Structure formats: structure tokens, C-alpha cells
Amino acid sequence: MLPEFLLPETTVREAGTGPAMALGDHRGGTFVLTLGITRIIEQESIDLSIWGSTDGNTWETKPLANFPQKFYCGTYQIVVDLSERPELEFVRVKWQMNRWGKGDPKPLFGLYVVAEAMKPHLASAGA
């Protein structure tokens, strides 16, 4: 799997959910997810989580993984191991935002999320 966008670069101002991405031949695999935050305003935070589904319509009740809460521009990575969840055929991202302080009460983030299958020899080296 070449790197694939779970969420293409976009600007968000409220909570939301990205499109479903089919795992295809990579079901049950291990992935490196990269969150890129390209734009922010001060005094705000974002919580981003990864969700799974067997059919693309009904989604799990708990996230598969969470990025730690973010406040700043940058790139951040987490590893998601789906080896114990081979029944999952789709994943997507979901985010919540918070803004406090003076000024416009609506948060503003420019962000993207990229998924890349981890090479098997790298995944086993981390075990």
C-alpha cells in the first residue's frame, strides 16, 4: 500500500468524520498513521481518533486508536496494529475540537491524515 490519505488536507472548523477507507488486502495489517497539522489559531485543541467497521456503514462503539490531544502545527505519528481485528474492512478518522479564550469562538485547523502499511520486518522488530 502506498501512502493513502484517510483525510486529504482540509480546513475544519467543527467536529467531523472523514471518509471510509477500504483496507482491501491490508486487512489485519499494521499501519503507521501520520497526522499533519498545517494551520491553527491560538488557544485551541484537537482530538483525533481512528474507527473501524466491517461493512463501511456500522462503526465500532470505541476507537481503534487515538492521537494524543494536539495544540500545535506539526506532524505526529502513531502505529495501529489490526492483527487481532482481521474482520475490519474499513477505517476512518473522527475529530473533536475545543477553543477557549478571546476572539472567534470557532476553532480552525488545517490538517491531513495519511495511512501507510508498515513493512512486516519493521512491525516484527518492534514486537
Structure confidence by residue, pLDDT tens digits, 90-120: 999 999 999 998 888 999 999 999 999 987 6
Q: What is the pLDDT of residue 102?
A: 85
Q: What is the pLDDT of residue 116?
A: 95
Distance in angstroms (rounded) separating the CA atoms of residues 29 and 44: 33
> What are the residue ranges spanned by the domains of the chain?
4-116
Q: What is the pLDDT of residue 120?
A: 66
Q: What is the pLDDT of residue 104?
A: 84
Q: What is the pLDDT of residue 118?
A: 87
- Fold of the domain built from segment(s) 4-116: Jelly Rolls (2.60.120)
User: Quick one: 47 exposed, middle or buried, by C-beta within 10 A (0-12, 13-18, 19+)?
Assistant: middle
Query: Is residue 122 over pLDDT 70?
Result: no
